[in-house]
A and B are shown apart, each in its own frame.
Chain A
Amino acid sequence: MSSTKDDRILLSGNEAIARGAWEHGVRVATAYPGTPSTEILEAIAKYDGIYAQWSPNEKVALEVAIGASVVGGRAMASMKHVGVNVAADPLLTLAYTGVNAGLVLVSADDPGIHSSQNEQDNRFYGRFARIPVIEPSDSQECKDFMGAALHMSEDQDTVVILRSTTRISHSKSLVTVSSREERPLLPYSKDILKYVMVPGNALRRQPEVLSRHARIEAYVETSPLNRIEWGDRRIGVITAGIAYQYVKDAYPDVSVLKLGITYPLPVNLIREFAKGVETVVVIEELEPFLYENVLLTGVEAVHSGLPRVGELSAAKVQKALARLLGEEPEPVLTVPAKVPMRPPVMCPGCPHRSVFYVLQKMKLMVSGDIGCYTLGALPPLSALDIFMSMGASIGMALGMEKADPASASRTVAVIGDSTFLHSGVTGLMDMVYNKSRGTVIILDNGTVAMTGHQDHPATGVTAQGEETRITAIEDVAAGVGVRRITVLDPFDIKNLEKVLREELKAEEVSVIIARSPCVLTEPSDAEPLMVSADVCKGCKLCARIGCPAISWMDDHPVIDQSLCGGCSLCANLCPFDAISVDFPTVEE
């Protein structure tokens, strides 16, 4: 954090959401790590007076937050957009029960798919569950809207979705901060009709939910989160979130209806705005969610012409508005150079690399999962056949086996430690229960690596840095009924291949736990390796492991000493023993 003369500090959207939760008396904050949401809980965990925890998955995170709210403590759960799918089961019934103390679900969406498997627009959850959606446009609003969301939640007896996007979450801007407002627990009183959603009670809650929705529709008409900025009346732009910034950058003088609440919409405010301008256009990122809802108000908004996929930018918005105003857009004279891609790669010394090398060498079908090891899909390893969602690898491998029983002897599911605990356990239970002979490799590097090394139930450390009991992965596998469990060192590729051959033949479920710590959390003290140009035959076998420390010069590999982690995978593969930590008799 960095402070200015006037006490404003530079915060990312995620840090500002955390600050807002802290200032506005949140008592319990929960999350499962996922880009771009992860830093929200990391930031909250550093504040005093607030309880913060990683849950094994997003569904549990929301359930913990629900419990906290019902007994009267303000609560929040934060997750990435696809995490809300995992939490959708409690969410859609939480929409019926409402809350006691304020409860906010933070959904961090990922337009542009920087680090996700899809680009879903979670504003639809607002309409789906009939709950309000609030969208900040910068870090100050992230902090302020968190307070507004908690207040609205308590006032209107509903969970509120605070929706961020990658550019909001991961951009920093100046924020005026305040101190924490302590809030005592609200009284809890047993209320079976409100909180026990058996069918009869759920049916009785529905009219309540509908009348609540009508109250919220009235509330949003006068909320200061929605505001009109009158300017040039030739065009009126309805916008929200990051798109507001692009509009202001492109055409600072147009009239703008800036929506802080994007569901439900302020129907009368939209009609008033439309009367004050010649043409109404909606500028929004991703789906035409606002556009379609504006059309439902009877306002004849024109389509912006902007795409419904990918991120917007000030330049794209400038072009779209220029077209509507009959002006020439500002020309872009530069074109990107044609250069080789630089995809992300497994780090030098990463323990996952050797596993994927063996899998592609054995030509196995690989059902993959979510984590750094998804990078095993990229060339030169190209080891994955399918990849879908958190924990899906095991169920999909089971389905392959059920459709084509012979495939089990050449198929593996590959899943990380945290992903296994998130939602792989149930898939493994399914394998045991339904008499699979499948083989599951759990890549256990002892951390949630891809999102920046968070703890989980098998690391023995909580989100706030306390030691805790460990959920041992081998015990979990044994507990669901797996009898063939092997724990091995992934760098011993001969043993890995041998064990794999045995387990693929086995007539029951096998779990192989490939255990070695993430090279970033526990860097090896092994010496970096080098190549003897005299011994090397230039066979390029070492180029097939996709190690970024190995490059090529004059038909021989060169190992970058500053990158090499000394894992020796390349040295163990080399058929000519041309790679070693030192060659005492290298001749010039």
Chain B
Amino acid sequence: MTDSRPVNILIVGVGGQGTILAGKVLSQVAVLSGRDVKFSEIHGMAQRGGSVVTQVRVGERVWSPTIDPGTADFMLAFEQLEALRWSHMMRPDGVIVMSITTIDPMPVITGAAEYPLGIPDRLSESAHVITIDAADYALQAGNPKSANVALLGRVARLMPFSRDLWDQALSETIPARHLAVNRKAFELGWNAL
């Protein structure tokens, strides 16, 4: 990590998918690494199945808690349409790690709009894209709700924090009764292609 400017990470998905937990683990890793961290999220209406975005910035000194268009280094996308919605936030050399999950928004359900096709290809025009079947890793780990941590494991491998720090962050952030499943999900994500 070059510390001349902060590393900007977006976590996007649909309310209820566990984006906030992924953000907590990520910011905890950053805290443990001794860097400055800012973490921004919007609560309220967005919880109810709406589009949600968590923003994490890590560096020697971080001022704004929010990320501007064209400046995100990493995106963790829990859902394909949400990845496309926030793709303008990416730097040209940024990396999108996206779950292949799709969730129809209400305008698609009611027939007022169509779910866009070919999202991975469209994303490839603006950033490096890695897709993983996070839901499948979560099932393998033993709980479908651990898809968020599987996704985090995949992007974690690309980030400048040691595996030990990630493990410490997981154990400090996730309640003990869910830790084993989430460790397994993280491991599966970390080793994913």
Binding site for B on A (CB under 8 A): 2-5, 10, 35-36, 38-39, 114-115, 138, 166-167, 170-174, 242, 245-246, 248-249, 252, 313-315, 332-337, 339-347, 372, 375, 378-380, 450-452, 540, 543-544, 546-548, 550-552, 562
Q: Please tell me if the beta carbons of A347 and B63 are within 8 angstroms of each other in the complex.
A: no
Residues of A within 8 A of B28 (CB): 2, 10
A314 engages B63 (CB within 8 Å): yes
How far apart are the CA atoms of A4 and B172 in the complex, in Å?
12
Does A172 lie within 8 Å of B27, measured CB to CB?
Answer: yes
Pair B69/A248 contact, Cβ less than 8 Å: no
Task: List chain A residues, Cβ under 8 A from B68.
Answer: 313-315, 332
Tell whether B112 is near chain A: CB-to-CB under 8 Å: yes
B48 engages A372 (CB within 8 Å): yes
Q: Taking A172-B39, A372-B48 as contacts, is the C-beta distance between A339 and B65 under 8 angstroms?
A: no
- Which of B85-93, B151-159, B176-184 lies at the interface with chain A? B85-93
| Shortest distance from the beta carbon of A146 to any chain B beta carbon, whole Å | 19
Q: Say how far A154's CB is from chain B's closest CB, in angstroms.
A: 32
Contact A345 B173, beta carbon cutoff 8 Å: no
How many Cβ-Cβ contacts under 8 Å join chain A to chain B? 186
| Partner pick for A344 among B36, B46, B82, B85, CB 8 A cutoff | B46
A2-B31 contact in complex given A314-B64, A378-B106, C-beta closer than 8 Å? yes
B122 in contact (CB, < 8 A): yes
Asked whether B42 lies within 8 Å of A114 as measured between CB atoms, the reply is yes
Contact with A along B41-80 (1 / 0, CB 8 A): 1111111111100000000001111101110000000000
Which residue from A3, A335, A546 sits with its C-beta under 8 Å from B88?
Answer: A335
B97 interface residue, CB < 8 Å from A?
no
Given contacts A172-B37, A174-B31, A375-B48, contact A340 B81 (CB under 8 A): yes
> Taking the nearest CB of chain A, how far is it from the CB of B103, in angstroms?
8
Q: What distance in Å separates the Cβ of B177 from its nearest Cβ neighbour in chain A?
A: 18
A340 & B63 in contact (Cβ 8 Å cutoff): no
1/0 per residue, CB under 8 A from A, across B100-112: the answer is 0001111111111
> What is the CB-to-nearest-CB distance from B32 to chain A, in angstroms, rounded to a whole number?
7
Q: Indicate which residue in A172, A335, A339, A375 contacts B38 across the interface (CB closer than 8 Å).
A: A172
From the candidates B40, B84, B103, name the one contacting A339 in the complex (CB within 8 A): B84
| Cross-chain contact B44 with A115 (CB below 8 angstroms) | yes
Q: Is the CB of B64 within 8 A of A313?
A: yes
User: Shortest Cβ distance from B71 into chain A, in angstroms?
Assistant: 8
B172 to chain A, nearest CB (A): 6
Is the Cβ of A450 less than 8 Å from the Cβ of B44?
Answer: yes
- Is the Cβ of A334 less than 8 Å from the Cβ of B48? no
If A35-B43, A339-B85, A546-B110 touch, whether A347 touches B48 (CB-CB below 8 Å) is yes
Pair B89/A334 contact, Cβ less than 8 Å: yes
Chain A, residue nearest B172 (CB): A2
- B contact set with A: CB distance below 8 Å: 14-15, 27-28, 31-32, 34, 36-51, 62-66, 68-70, 81-82, 84-85, 87-90, 92, 103-116, 122, 126, 144, 172-173
The residue that B66 contacts in the complex, of A35, A115, A167, A340, with Cβ under 8 A, is: A167
Given A36-B44, A172-B27, A551-B104: A245 and B63 within 8 A (CB)? Answer: yes
Residue with the highest number of chain A CB atoms closer than 10 Å, among B31, B36, B103:
B31
Q: B40 to A334, Cβ gap below 8 A?
A: no
List 10 A-B pairs, Cβ < 8 Å: A4-B32, A36-B44, A167-B65, A171-B41, A246-B63, A332-B68, A337-B84, A543-B110, A547-B109, A562-B144
Whether A344 lies near B50 (C-beta < 8 A) is yes
Q: Which B residues are CB-close (under 8 A) to A313?
A: 64, 66, 68
B108 touches A340 (CB 8 A): yes
Hey, which chain A residues are within 8 Å of B110, CB to CB? 379-380, 543-544, 546
Chain A minimum-CB-distance residue to B173: A2
Since A115-B45, A173-B62, A334-B87 are in contact, a sample of 9 more A-B pairs with Cβ atoms closer than 8 Å, ordered by chain A residue number, is A114-B45, A167-B40, A170-B43, A334-B89, A336-B85, A340-B114, A344-B49, A547-B109, A548-B104
* Residue contact A334 to B42, C-beta cutoff 8 Å: no
List residues of chain A with CB within 8 A of the CB of B38.
138, 171-173
Return the chain B residue nearest A338 by Cβ. Answer: B116
Interface pair A171/B109, CB less than 8 Å apart: no
Give complex CA distance A167, B45 in Å.
15
B70 near A333: Cβ-Cβ < 8 Å? yes
Closest chain-A Cβ to B91's Cβ sits at a distance in Å of 9
Residue among A2, A5, A339 making CB contact with B34, cutoff 8 Å: A5
Query: In the complex, what's the smallest C-beta–C-beta distance from A344 to chain B, in angstroms?
Result: 4
Say yes or no: A4-B31 contact (C-beta < 8 A), given A334-B126, A543-B110.
Answer: yes
Chain B residue nearest to A378 (CB atoms) is B106
A129 to B70, CA, bound (A): 43
What distance in Å separates the Cβ of A418 from its nearest Cβ neighbour in chain B?
Answer: 15
Given known pairs A2-B27, A170-B40, the reply for A552 and B64 (CB within 8 Å) is no
With a cutoff of 8 Å between Cβ atoms, the chain A residues found around residue B144 in the complex are: 562
Do A334 and B69 have beta carbons less than 8 Å apart? yes
User: In the complex the two chains form, is A340's CB within 8 Å of B42's CB?
Assistant: no
Within 8 Å by CB of B50, from A38, A171, A342, lies A342
In angstroms, how far is the closest chain A Cβ from the Cβ of B146? Answer: 13
**Whole-angstrom distance from the CB of B79 to the nearest CB of chain A?**
9
Q: A2-B172, A35-B43, A172-B27 are in contact. Are A340 and B49 (CB under 8 A)?
A: no
B173 cross-chain contacts in A, Cβ below 8 A:
2
Complex CA distance for A380 and B74, rounded to whole angstroms: 35
Given contacts A246-B64, A313-B64, A315-B69, A341 and B42 within 8 Å (CB-CB):
no
Least CB distance from A424 to B in Å reads 21
Cα distance, A543 to B107, chains bound together (Å)? 11
Q: Which of A5, A39, A115, A550 contacts B109 (CB 8 A)?
A: A550
Which A residue's beta carbon lies closest to that of B24? A2
Task: Specify the chain B residue showing the minimal Cβ separation from A173.
Answer: B38
**Docked CA distance A115–B47 (Å):** 11
Q: By the criterion CB–CB under 8 Å, are B39 and A171 in contact?
A: yes
Residue from B34, B88, B107, B116 within 8 A of A341 (CB atoms): B107
CB proximity of B190 to chain A, nearest CB, Å: 21
CA distance A10 to B34 in the complex (A): 12
Q: How far is the CA of A185 from the CA of B84 in the complex (A)?
A: 57
Distance A246 CA – B66 CA, assembled complex (angstroms): 9
B105 contacts across to A, CB distance below 8 A: 340-343
CA distance A379 to B105 in the complex (A): 12
Taking a contact as CB atoms closer than 8 A, the residue among B46, B48, B104, B106 that contacts A114 in the complex is: B46
| Complex Cα gap A347–B38 (Å) | 30
Alpha-carbon distance A543/B144, docked complex (angstroms): 26
> CB-CB < 8 A to A36: which residues of B?
43-44
The answer for the CA separation of A450 and B90 in the assembled complex, in Å, is 31
- From residue B94, how far is it (CB to closest CB) to chain A in Å? 10
- Among residues of B, the one whose C-beta sits closest to the C-beta of A451 is B44
Query: How many Å lie between the Cα of A332 and that of B68 in the bound state?
Result: 9
The residues of B that contact A551 with a CB separation of less than 8 Å are 104, 108-109
Query: Shortest distance in angstroms between B174's beta carbon and chain A's nearest beta carbon?
Result: 12
Residues in chain B near residue A337, CB distance under 8 A? 84-85, 87-88, 116, 122
